[in-house]
Amino acid sequence: MAMERQTTIGAFVLGGIVLALGAIVFFGNFRLFSPTRRAAIVFQGSVSGLSVGAPVTFRGVRVGAVDSITIQFDARTQTAFIPVTLQLDPGRVRVTRDAQDRDFNIDLDSLIQRGLRAELNTQSFVTGQSEINLDFDPSSAAVLHPDITQLTEIPTRASTIERVTQQISQLPLRELADNADAALKSIRTLSDKLDTSLPALIDSLKATSDGSSHAIDAATKAITDLQGRLDTTLGHFSQLAIDANQTLTQRSADLHTLLVSTNQTVQQTHETLNDLRSLTSNRGEARANIEATLRDLAASAASLRGFASDVEHNPQLLLTGRRQ
């Protein structure tokens, strides 16, 4: 019985050891059958929330864990550094071979030269735990600390939260607060002035509105009266146009007759002018007769003038006549 009890206790102890080793293998940071690569990261700022065993990820994929965190103080520069040792698992990274089927080994130094950088990110805002994330950022300067660690050092870059914090710290918060305070005072002063001026302004606006309403009513009435008068005037103009149209219609016949008579008169005048032109022509017979008649009348007038002269000298000639 004692032997069986010892055997049972030994089996339980062995099982516990096996379970402990399994838990360490599956949940811990130990790799019994796979090689690991050690590297270092040197921080100068706070690593709050980072602890041993924290995950090391590459764009969210776990590729290792934090092995140790220490503090190293440089008395010469009065600067504190926090070197963090990493355990990287190269087995989690697979490399695609090129067309020539050449082998390619993961070289941490070449990856750093290509821009591999490490940053501290918050893993959970609830627990405050942090992790280290790896990514390529060739634009970030590679600042190394060969006096701090002998391991291959992965340069760091500021995380998104650190960059935001740095930008906020560079803001002129005091000046912004003073400006905000001055703006609030101005708003308060303006509010007090509005409280004093608004009642009078409202009364003035109300009086102006009432006056505008009366003016609008008067204008509406005047427009209505004017519209009636315009309707009457337009009616008179329409009647006048109708009367004028009728008058023109009645006078059109008289005008036609007058035009015909005028045309006839013009024609007669034209004929008379033609007759006068024929009478006054140098070769016309009527003109020759008229000229002969005029000559005879001139001769007769000369004879009468001579006879009148003789009678004036001798009145008896009227009784006796002129002797031959």
Of 85, 90, 109, give the one whose Cα is nearest residue 37. Answer: 90
Three-state secondary structure readout of 176-245: HHHHHHHHHHHHHHHHHHHHHHHHHHHHHHHHHHHHHHHHHHHHHHHHHHHHHHHHHHHHHHHHHHHHHH
Q: How many helices (H) and strands (E) does the chain have?
A: 6, 7
With a pLDDT cut of 70, the percent of the chain lying above it is 73
Tell me how far apart the alpha carbons of residues 307 and 309 are, in angstroms, rounded to a whole number.
Answer: 5
Reduced to 3 states, what is the DSSP secondary structure of residue 29? coil
Q: Which residues of 56-87 are buried (b: 16+ CB within 10 A; e: fewer)?
A: bbbeeeebbbbbebeeeeeeeeeeebbbbbbb
More confident residue, 81 or 230: 81
Q: How many CA atoms lie within 13 A of 103 on its CB side?
A: 1
Q: What is the pLDDT of residue 83?
A: 93
Query: How sure is the predictor about 70, in pLDDT bands with cuts at 50, 70 and 90?
Result: very high
Q: Which two tokens stand for residue 323?
A: 């002797």
Q: Which residue has the tokens 């009636």?
A: 228
Tell me how far apart the alpha carbons of residues 239 and 81 are, in angstroms, rounded to a whole number.
Answer: 110
Cβ-based neighbour number of residue 153 at 10 Å = 21
Beta-bridge partner residues of 61: 58
Q: What is the pLDDT of residue 298?
A: 76
Phi and psi torsions of 283, nearest 5°: -100, 5
Sign for the pseudo-dihedral over CA of 202, 205, 207, 210: negative
**Per-residue pLDDT tens digits for 160-185:** 766 666 667 667 777 878 888 888 88
**Per-residue pLDDT tens digits for 213-249:** 888 888 888 888 888 888 888 888 788 878 767 776 7
Q: Which residue has the tokens 């020759």?
A: 288
Sign for the pseudo-dihedral over CA of 105, 110, 115, 121: positive
Tell me how far apart the alpha carbons of residues 47 and 161 are, in angstroms, rounded to a whole number.
Answer: 13
pTM of the model: 0.43
What one-character DSSP code corresponds to residue 91?
G
Q: What is the pLDDT of residue 62?
A: 92
Domain spans in the chain, listed from the N-terminal domain onward: 33-92+105-159, 283-316
